[in-house]
Amino acid sequence: MQRLMFVLVALLLAGLARFDGLSSPAAQTPTAADGTMRAVTAANAFLATLSPAERTKVVLELRPDLQSRWSNLPTGTVMQVDRERTKTPLPRNGLRLGDLSATQRDAIQALLRSTLSADGLQKVNDIVASDEELERRQGPSRPPTAAVRFGRAEYYIAILGTPSASAPWMLQFGGHHLAINVSYVGANRTLAPTHLGAQPALFTLESRTVRPLGDELDKAVALLNALDARQRQQATLGYAVADTVLAAGSDGKTIEPEGVRASTFTPAQRQMLTALIGEWVRVADDAAAAARMKEIESTLAETYFAWSGPPTKEGGAYFRIQGPAVVIEYAPQALQTRGPDGAPEHIHTIYRDPTNDYGRKFARR
Going through 111-249 in order, the beta strands assigned E by DSSP cover 156-160, 169-175, 178-185, 188-190, 194-198, 203-205, 208-210
Cα separation, 285 vs 263, in Å, equals 29
Determine the pLDDT at residue 142.
78
Q: Which long-range contacts (CB under 8 A, 24 or more apart) does 63-70 make?
A: 63/160, 64/358, 66/93, 66/160, 67/160, 67/170, 67/181, 67/183, 67/358, 68/249, 68/251, 68/358, 69/93, 70/172, 70/174, 70/179, 70/181, 70/195, 70/248
pLDDT of residue 172: 98
Number of CB atoms found within 10 A of residue 350's CB: 26
Tens digits of residue pLDDT in 333-349: 988 788 888 889 999 99
Q: What is the DSSP letter of 71?
A: -
Confidence at residue 20, expressed as pLDDT on a 0 to 100 scale: 35
Rounded CA-CA distance 167/162 in Å is: 8
Question: What's residue 279's pLDDT?
Answer: 98
Q: What integer pLDDT is reported at residue 82 of this predicted model?
A: 66
Distances (CA, A) of 140 to 115, 128, 137, 154: 36, 19, 7, 17
Mark 259-270 as b/e (b = at least 16 C-beta within 10 Å).
bbbbeebeeebb
According to the model, what pLDDT value does residue 289 have? 97
The string of pLDDT tens digits covering residues 9-49 is 333 333 333 333 333 334 455 566 889 999 999 999 999 99
Q: How many CA atoms lie within 13 A of 281 on its CB side?
A: 23
Under-50 pLDDT residues of the chain: 1-27
> How far is it, in rounded angstroms, from Cα 277 to Cα 353?
12
Query: For residue 189, which of 30, 44, 29 has the smallest C-alpha distance?
Result: 30
**pLDDT score recorded for residue 139:** 80
Region of 210 (left: φ > 0; alpha: ψ -120 to 50; beta: rest) is beta
pLDDT at 85: 65
Give the pLDDT of residue 47: 98
The answer to whether the beta carbons of residues 253 and 242 sit under 8 Å apart is: no
Interatomic CA distance for residues 47 and 166, integer angstroms: 19
For residues 332 and 216, the answer to whether their CB atoms sit within 8 Å is no
Integer angstrom CA distances of residue 215 from 50, 154, 202, 219, 271: 37, 26, 12, 6, 15
Is 59:47 a contact under the CB 8 Å cutoff? yes
Q: Which helix (H) or strand (E) holds 260?
A: strand 260-261
